[in-house]
Amino acid sequence: MRDSKHAIEINNLTKFFGDLQALDNVSFSVKRGDFFAFLGPNGAGKTTTINALTGLSNFKSGEIKIFGYNTRTEYVRTRPLVGLCAQEFNFDPFLTIYQILVYQAGYFGILPGEAARRADALLERFQLTSKRNVKHRALSGGMKKRLLLCRALIHDPEILILDEPTSGCDLELKFLIWDYLTQLNQEGKTIFLTTHYMEEAEKLCKTIGIINHGRIVRIGEKKEVLRDKSLETVFLEVTGNE
Partner 1 sequence: MVVNPVGVLTLTKREIYRFLTVATQTIFPPLISSVLFMYIFGVAIGSRIDFSVTGLSYLGFIIPGLMTMHLISSSYENTTSSLFIARWHNHIQEVLLAPLSYFEMVLGLLAGGVARGFIVCLSVYLVSLPFAPIPIDHPIVLLYFMIMVSVIFSCAGMISALWAEDFNMLNVWNIYCILPLVLMGGVFHPITMLPNIVQKFSRFNPMFYMVNGIRYSITGISDTSILFCAGLSFLLAVSFFFFTVYLFKIGYKLRS
| Interface positions with partner 1 (CB under 8 A) | 17, 48, 51, 54-58, 75-77, 79-80, 82, 84, 86, 88, 90-95, 100, 103-104, 106-111, 151
> What is the C-alpha separation between 41 and 55, in angstroms, rounded?
23
Q: In angstroms, give the least distance from the CB of 61 to partner 1.
A: 16
Q: How far is the CB of 191 from partner 1 (least distance, A)?
A: 17
With contact defined as beta carbons under 8 Å apart, do 131 and 122 qualify?
A: no
The 8-class DSSP code of residue 96 comes to B
CB neighbour burial string for 42-52, b if at least 16 within 10 angstroms, e if fewer = eebbbbbbbbb
Nearer residue to partner 1 within complex by CB, 16 or 197: 16
At its nearest, how many Å lie between partner 1 and the CB of residue 187? 22
Residue (16 or 180) nearer to partner 1, CB: 16
**Residue 225 CB, nearest approach to partner 1 (Å):** 30
Residue 40 or residue 174: which is nearer to partner 1 going by CB? 40
Report the residue number, 50 or 177, with the smaller CB distance to partner 1.
Answer: 50
3: Cβ contacts below 8 Å, ≥ 6 apart:
68
> With respect to partner 1, which residue has the nearer C-beta, 66 or 128?
66
Cα(60)–Cα(15) distance, rounded to whole angstroms? 5
Residues ≥6 apart with Cβ < 8 Å to 100: 91, 92, 136, 147, 151
Beta strands in 4-106 (DSSP E): 6-17, 20-31, 35-39, 61-66, 69-70, 82-85
Distance in Å, CB of 171 to partner 1, minimum: 29
Please state the closest distance from residue 221 (CB atom) to partner 1, in A: 30
Q: Give Cβ neighbours of residue 161 (< 8 Å, ≥ 6 apart).
A: 50, 53, 54, 82, 83, 84, 85, 152, 192
Minimum CB distance to partner 1 smaller for 46 or for 79: 79
